[in-house]
């Protein structure tokens, strides 16, 4: 029964469009204005930066923890540096970017709140995408099967996962309040990478959304 | 270290210092080089090499800056040693710094001994080699002289400036002194200031030179001597700092040189000793001892942050230049932390910066060696920059 459940959990392929781009990345790209200055925190091999450069003409920079990811990105001609979201965001001056993006990385930071606050300081906008720990499949694995969840999207065992700060959509909204972020737009994607109904209530998103993308700005109104 | 080489006498080097086997431009009394020491160097000359072709828009020039003991012969046979250029793996047809796309310039630094004015050159006032009468020069002076060379060549903006170690220091100084003239900068295995440890190593090297009785207070040309032993010891010490414990162990271990047992003497029993002695001897053939003093001093004085009241970020504030900073994991002379400091300052100055650390056990010298990842990164960075600059990008 568990095996069937696991097969059912496959979303990674469904969430990749025929062209190869990941749906969540396309969704992030769509939130970014053309020609904007963008910092992608935890940019991996630079897939999103490339997409942003090609489709939105942005002036993009990236930070990535893994040396392989960085060197691959730099060799592609991207402005990527080796660095750590938890320690290196402090170096950037206020309002250095139009958008600071944290794509599928929040859950791997040591201090998500500090990271989010820096993002809102450095950028006029912050975009955060993350896997929703409130999704029903994950609730099922923890609540019924009684073990830490493992999905194609989150394939690690609990003892070797880089993901140390999972949250639900509901939890993230709480963090936004605490960190002084205004939610300008939020989208939840279901297991097939489709956006959930716009007018669905938050509890529904929190149960049915496999991942979420938030566009944020500073609550103090400094954002443009 | 008492072996001598029959190959080259000081006179050969002296000739190279004044009439080099390369292009040379002489600046007369109307164009003095204003030095940080507060004096003018005039007249003076710069020896340089070029590779590739300058395009009609004059927009494809790449300046390569050489390291402490390098010279203008980046990708051509060295006239003294007859060895291939020092960066032929990086510069050439189809190489990352491609001579088929870019016009590459490399000039011997001021203070050097391969044709640009330095302590081995003839002092026009006395008709004898300058020796210690040559003014002390800085990295900024080197860059200022290079800018005069570019003016002479009619090149306004450089597409890129690239170099490792002292060359990387010059790259950074270029970006600070002439930000509008540098489109892309590649400082490799470099730092914005020379560390106390590095100054200490340099001081040991200089003391070795000056302790050699043949140094004669720097007047060895006039007295017909050559401080070979001192300079060789300086080079041996420095050479260790360019490598790493792991690389030395991999190459030599504790193996004996042409013998099965220790000789119970102070011969070069170990391969590593023999190797270092060879490094010392061959270096003395091609390099001037006084130049070694001047160039190490220039590196010691290098501290960009100090020029900006200790706030390094101000040096790069709103710079239009795009940077690619590269370091090597086993480089303990210019460790990754030095490169990271550059990156932090560039980020604070809102610069467009890439930074890659390359895993290797080859130490500081890795920038001169066969490092495929280094080549891929330099190639990718330059291609990205070329695209941004509006060059046609050719994919091989």
Whole-complex ipTM: 0.81
The residues of chain B that CATH labels 1.10.1740.110 are 201-296
Q: Which of B68, B81, B140 has its CA nearest to residue B108? A: B68
Considering the domain delimited by A2-218, tell me its CATH architecture.
Answer: 3-Layer(aba) Sandwich (3.40)
Burial of A172 (0-12, 13-18, 19+ CB in 10 A): buried
CA–chain centroid gap for B5, Å, is 25
| Whole-number pLDDT of residue A2 | 35
For B15, the enclosing helix (H) or strand (E) is helix B10-18
Is B278 one of the catalytic residues?
no
Identify whether the C-beta of residue B373 lies closer than 8 Å to the C-beta of residue B358: yes
The first and second tokens of residue B140, run together, are: 């900024």
| Whole-number pLDDT of residue A194 | 84
Using a CB-CB distance cutoff of 8 angstroms, which residues of chain B are in contact with residue A76?
380, 384
Domains of chain A, residue spans: 2-218
Using a CB-CB distance cutoff of 8 angstroms, which residues of chain A are in contact with residue B381?
74-75, 77
**CATH class of the domain at B23-198+303-389:** alpha beta
| Whole-number pLDDT of residue A190 | 87
- Render A104-157 in DSSP notation, one character per residue: S-GGG-S-HHHHHHHHHHHEEEEEEEEEBTTSHHHHHIIIII-S----SSS---
- Tens of pLDDT along chain B (396 residues) come to 333 344 455 566 668 899 999 999 999 999 999 999 999 999 999 999 999 999 999 999 999 999 999 999 999 999 989 999 999 999 999 999 999 999 999 999 999 999 999 999 999 999 999 999 999 999 999 999 999 999 999 999 999 999 999 999 999 999 999 999 999 999 999 999 999 999 999 999 999 999 999 999 999 999 999 999 999 999 999 999 999 999 999 999 999 999 999 999 999 999 999 999 999 999 999 999 999 999 999 999 999 999 999 999 999 999 999 999 999 999 999 999 999 999 999 999 989 999 999 999 999 999 999 999 999 999 999 999 998 898 764 544
The first and second tokens of residue A87, run together, are: 């320690």
Is B364 one of the catalytic residues?
yes
SS3 B295: helix
A199: distance to nearest CA of chain B, Å? 40
| Whole-number pLDDT of residue B309 | 94
Fold of B201-296: Rna Polymerase Sigma Factor; Chain: A (1.10.1740)
Identify whether the C-beta of residue B204 lies closer than 8 Å to the C-beta of residue B244: no
The residues of chain B that CATH labels 3.40.50.1820 are 23-198+303-389
Is B331 one of the catalytic residues?
yes
| Whole-number pLDDT of residue A18 | 52
Q: Which of B83, B135, B76, B68 has its CA nearest to residue B105? A: B76
Q: B24 — alpha (psi -120 to 50), left (phi > 0) or beta?
A: beta
| Whole-number pLDDT of residue B4 | 39
B155 Cβ neighbours under 8 A, 6+ residues apart: B54, B58, B61, B105
Which residue matches tokens 């001897």? B281
SS3 A50: helix
Query: Of the listed B141, B331, B338, B365, which one is catalytic?
Result: B331
Neighbours of B293 (CB within 10 A): 24
Phi and psi at B55, nearest 5°, equal: -75, 165
Q: Residue A41: pLDDT above 90?
A: yes
Using a CB-CB distance cutoff of 8 angstroms, which residues of chain B are in contact with residue A78?
354, 384
């Amino acid at each position: 029964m568990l095996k069937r459940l696991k097969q059912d959990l496959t979303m990674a392929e469904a969430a990749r469009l025929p062209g190869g781009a990941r749906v969540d990345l396309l969704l992030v790209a769509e939130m970014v204005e053309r020609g904007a200055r963008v910092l992608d925190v935890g940019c991996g091999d630079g897939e999103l930066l490339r997409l942003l450069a090609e489709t939105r003409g942005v002036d993009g920079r990236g930070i990535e923890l893994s040396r392989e990811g960085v060197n691959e990105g730099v060799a592609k001609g991207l402005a990527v540096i080796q660095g750590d979201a938890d320690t290196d965001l402090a170096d950037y001056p206020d309002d250095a970017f139009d958008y600071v993006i944290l794509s599928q990385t929040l859950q791997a930071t040591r201090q998500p709140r500090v990271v989010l606050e820096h993002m809102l300081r450095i950028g006029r906008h912050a975009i955060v995408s993350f896997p929703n720990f409130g999704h029903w499949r994950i609730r099922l694995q923890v609540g019924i099967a009684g073990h830490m969840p493992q999905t194609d999207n989150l394939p690690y065992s609990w003892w070797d996962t880089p993901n140390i700060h999972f949250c639900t959509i509901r939890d993230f909204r709480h963090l936004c309040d605490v960190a002084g972020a205004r939610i300008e737009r939020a989208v939840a994607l279901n297991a097939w990478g489709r956006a959930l109904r716009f007018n669905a209530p938050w509890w529904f998103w929190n149960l049915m959304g496999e991942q979420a993308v938030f566009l944020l700005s500073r609550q103090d109104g400094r954002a443009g | 270290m008492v072996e001598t080489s029959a190959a080259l006498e000081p006179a050969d080097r002296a000739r190279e210092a004044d009439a080099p086997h390369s292009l040379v431009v002489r600046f007369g009394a109307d164009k003095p080089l204003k030095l940080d020491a507060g004096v003018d160097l005039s007249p003076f000359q710069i020896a340089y090499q070029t590779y590739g072709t300058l395009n009609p828009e004059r927009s494809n020039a790449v300046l390569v800056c050489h390291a402490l003991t390098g010279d203008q012969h980046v990708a051509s046979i060295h006239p003294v040693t007859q060895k291939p250029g020092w960066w032929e793996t990086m510069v050439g047809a189809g190489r990352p710094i491609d001579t088929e796309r870019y016009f590459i310039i490399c000039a011997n630094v001021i203070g050097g001994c391969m044709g640009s004015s330095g302590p081995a050159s003839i002092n026009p006032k006395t008709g004898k080699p300058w020796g210690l009468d040559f003014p002390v020069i800085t990295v900024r002076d080197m860059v200022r002289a290079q800018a005069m060379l570019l003016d002479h060549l009619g090149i306004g903006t450089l597409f890129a400036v690239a170099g490792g170690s002292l060359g990387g220091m010059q790259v950074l100084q270029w970006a600070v002194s002439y930000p509008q003239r540098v489109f892309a900068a590649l400082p490799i295995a470099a730092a914005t200031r020379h560390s106390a440890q590095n100054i200490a190593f340099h001081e040991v090297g200089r003391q070795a030179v000056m302790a050699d009785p043949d140094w004669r207070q720097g007047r060895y040309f006039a007295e017909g001597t050559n401080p070979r032993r001192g300079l060789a010891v300086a080079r041996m010490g420095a050479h260790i700092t360019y490598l790493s414990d792991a690389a030395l162990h991999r190459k030599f271990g504790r193996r004996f040189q042409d013998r099965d047992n220790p000789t119970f003497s102070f011969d070069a029993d170990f391969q590593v000793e023999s190797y270092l002695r060879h490094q010392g001897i061959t270096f003395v053939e091609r390099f001037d001892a006084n130049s070694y003093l001047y160039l190490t001093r220039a590196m010691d004085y290098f501290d960009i942050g100090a020029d900006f009241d200790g706030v390094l970020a101000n040096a790069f504030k709103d710079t239009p230049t795009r940077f690619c900073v590269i370091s090597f994991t086993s480089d303990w002379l210019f460790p990754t932390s030095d490169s990271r400091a550059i990156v932090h300052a560039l980020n604070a100055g809102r610069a467009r910066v890439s930074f890659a650390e390359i895993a290797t056990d080859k130490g500081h010298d890795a920038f001169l060696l066969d490092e495929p990842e280094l080549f891929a990164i330099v190639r990718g960075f330059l291609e990205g920059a070329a695209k941004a600059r509006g060059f046609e990008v050719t994919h091989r």
